[in-house]
Amino acid sequence: MEKNQFESDDLGEWKIERRMELVRVVSHNAHKRMVACLQGQIGTDAEKRHKKLPLTALSQAMQDGGNQLGEESLIGKMMEMCGDAENRLASELMQHEMNIEKEILDTLNQLAEVDIPNILKQRRQLAKLVLDYDSARARWLQATKSIISGTNTQALTAKADSLKEEVDEAMNKMELCKDQLSADMYNFFSKEADYARYYVMLLEAQADYHRKSLTLLESVLPTIQAQQDSWTEKPAFGTALDEHLKRSGREIALPIEACVMMLLETGMNEEGLFRIAAGASKLKKLKAALDCSTSQLEEFYSDPHAVAGALKSYLRELPEPLMTYQLYDEWTQASNVPDPDKRLQALWVTCNQLPKNNKANFRYLIKFLAKLAQESDVNKMTPSNIAIVLGPNLLWAKTEGSLAEMAAATSVHVVTIIEPIIQHADWFFPEDVDFNVSGMFSMPAPLPNNVNHLTPPDYDSGTIERKRPGSMVGPDGELPRRESSIITIVIVLYWLNCYNLIIKYYYLFIHLFIIIIE
């Protein structure tokens, strides 16, 4: 067999051999990158592999932190529950990586580092056998030529026969190796689809791992979220009233009760309460303390203006005003009733339409404000003054429109709504109020006896048409001078349609109003 003949026959196999070499290189690179993606220690048993995962270290850190903080801390509780979830995710990841290693990485490694190299080794072995065959054949041909020209024909013939046997043996080895190599190469070529399948299996294994992880997370998240939602220590400021009361198991919102109890203790004789602004840092600290649901508020008793500011902030930061958006039109219509007696009746009817929680907290607050107004000779906070500074935090329109309209609505309606309710609190809410409703606070010492200029009106609890309070109208049946003054100032404010002027002159008009009514 001529060498060029062998090379001609081997042309197709050479192409397969070239592809095999490329497959070996890319499989080796893919295997290397896959190993780099694994988080566990390759080749180790399951337990050791699980311990070495970053997720396991995270889980342990979370659970240790949760144990240190304890179950009385929400952060500690969340760390403990999430740490357990992370540990379960680590188990899923460990199992996933072990499956990847066994079914894909080992196979790719076998292909790139064993199977293809063995075939290529056979190719090199065949090349050596071809050289051996060519050498034996060359010696045999030389021996046959020597027989023709030599004298010792018998000896030369014997040598040639021996060399012929070597040629035949070399040829047989070469043919066997060539056949084996061809079989292996064609077998590889026919199985290329199987080798390509490994990469599909990788994606399928990843999809299965992520599905299992997602199922695990979806099973634990509701429990964790329920624990989060059930935690009572959540901010009260900016939270809906019903949500705060339900979560804390309270009847009266904590900021309202805490501020009222502190003011009953040290703020009833404070001049300009709710009107004089408090220090921003002290107010911020008090709000943060109330958000923590703490009753340790001793340091704030000495700053009633900060306490009053916190109460105003709580009311204003409610997602819906205490007197509700739903009843805004009813409150407004009631305040526009011309007849004083019927106006009071309309306000009473609207008040009774408040939702249960809103009405309870509104009643609590109004009874306190009425108590505060009883000390107006000292604190200068009459019902009208209180209505001006606190009313806009109790009721506002859902769509407030322009600034001028907002100012007009606040001045005209809210003041004329809140003032008579404070003025006649015992007519609107005849029952006594236990201000320390939760029992968290100590009751203040009784205040000195003062003349109560808000004499409780007569009422008939058995009829809807309640008797009007005698203080509602004057001897000649006209509106009292204070309400007339309010309306006068309101009209002026209404025509200040420039926002900057409203801001600039607002407190000037407040002081003017106080001078007028005093």
List all residues 6 or more positions away from 194 whose beta carbon is below 8 Å from its beta carbon.
Answer: none
pLDDT in tens, 375-395: 999 999 999 999 999 999 999
152 and 39 co-located in one domain: yes
The pLDDT, as a whole number, for residue 412 is 60
Residue where a domain stops, chosen among 428, 463, 496: 428
Burial of 193 (0-12, 13-18, 19+ CB in 10 A): exposed
Decide if pLDDT at 489 tops 70: no
**498 domain-assigned:** no
Contact (Cβ atoms closer than 8 angstroms) between residue 420 and residue 343: yes
Q: Which residue has the higher pLDDT, 446 or 205?
A: 205
Among 39-53, 355-369, 468-482, which is the least confidently predicted range? 468-482
Q: Considering only CA atoms, which of 384, 411, 387, 410 is closest in space to residue 397? A: 410
**96 domain-assigned:** yes
The pLDDT, as a whole number, for residue 124 is 85
List all residues 6 or more positions away from 491 whose beta carbon is below 8 Å from its beta carbon.
Answer: none
The neighbour count for residue 357, using CB atoms within 10 Å, is 19
List all residues 6 or more positions away from 248 whose beta carbon is below 8 Å from its beta carbon.
Answer: 232, 236, 254, 293
**Residue 196 DSSP symbol:** H
Q: Please state, rounded to an integer, the average pLDDT across all residues of the chain.
A: 80
Q: Average pLDDT for residues 398-418, to the nearest whole number? A: 64
Decide if pLDDT at 231 tops 70: no
List all residues 6 or more positions away from 370 whose beta carbon is below 8 Å from its beta carbon.
Answer: 383, 422, 423, 425, 426, 454
267 and 177 co-located in one domain: no
The pLDDT, as a whole number, for residue 240 is 92
**438 domain-assigned:** no
Decide if pLDDT at 76 tops 50: yes
Instruction: Please give the full DSSP string across 50-63, using - where no structure is assigned.
Output: HHHSHHHHHHHHHH
> How remote is the C-alpha of 239 from its chain's centroid?
16
257 and 219 co-located in one domain: no
Residue where a domain stops, chosen among 179, 213, 231: 231
Give the span between the Cα atoms of 370 and 425, in whole angstroms: 6
Decide if pLDDT at 361 tops 80: yes
- CA 18, 20, 25, 30: dihedral to nearest 10 degrees? 140
**116 domain-assigned:** yes
177 and 73 co-located in one domain: yes
**454 domain-assigned:** no
Residue 445 banded pLDDT, cuts 50, 70, 90: low
Residue 414's SS3 state is helix
**433 domain-assigned:** no
367 and 256 co-located in one domain: yes
Token pair for 257:
């009760």
pLDDT in tens, 169-182: 989 988 898 888 88
Decide if pLDDT at 444 tops 60: no
158 and 13 co-located in one domain: yes
Residue where a domain stops, chosen among 199, 231, 263: 231
The pLDDT, as a whole number, for residue 295 is 62
Q: Average pLDDT for residues 279-286, to the nearest whole number? A: 89
pLDDT in tens, 119-174: 888 888 888 989 998 998 898 888 888 777 766 677 778 888 888 888 899 899 88
Q: Average pLDDT for residues 410-437, to the nearest whole number? A: 87
The domain of 398 spans 241-428
Q: Which residue has the higher pLDDT, 227 or 66?
A: 66
The pLDDT, as a whole number, for residue 305 is 93
Give the span between the Cα atoms of 395 and 390, in whole angstroms: 9
Residue 426 banded pLDDT, cuts 50, 70, 90: very high
Q: In the chain, what percentage of residues exceed pLDDT 70?
A: 78
> How remote is the C-alpha of 63 from its chain's centroid?
21
Decide if pLDDT at 102 tops 70: yes
104 and 155 co-located in one domain: yes
When divided into structural domains, the chain yields a total of 2
**81 domain-assigned:** yes
86 and 182 co-located in one domain: yes
218 and 248 co-located in one domain: no
353 and 257 co-located in one domain: yes
Residue type for position 512: L
Angle, vertex CA 438, rays to CA 433 and CA 444, nearest 5: 65
The neighbour count for residue 127, using CB atoms within 10 Å, is 13
pLDDT in tens, 4-57: 444 445 555 677 778 888 888 988 898 899 989 888 888 788 888 898 899 999
Give the span between the Cα atoms of 200 and 193, in whole angstroms: 11
CATH label of the domain that carries residue 194: 1.20.1270.60
Q: Average pLDDT for residues 220-240, to the nearest whole number? A: 81
List all residues 6 or more positions away from 147 whose beta carbon is below 8 Å from its beta carbon.
Answer: 153, 156, 157, 160
Among 173-182, 309-318, 422-431, which is the least confidently predicted range? 173-182
126 and 221 co-located in one domain: yes
Token pair for 202:
């990788």
The pLDDT, as a whole number, for residue 107 is 87
Decide if pLDDT at 446 tops 60: no
The pLDDT, as a whole number, for residue 518 is 46
Among 5-9, 134-138, 186-190, 327-331, which is the least confidently predicted range? 5-9
**317 domain-assigned:** yes
206 and 309 co-located in one domain: no
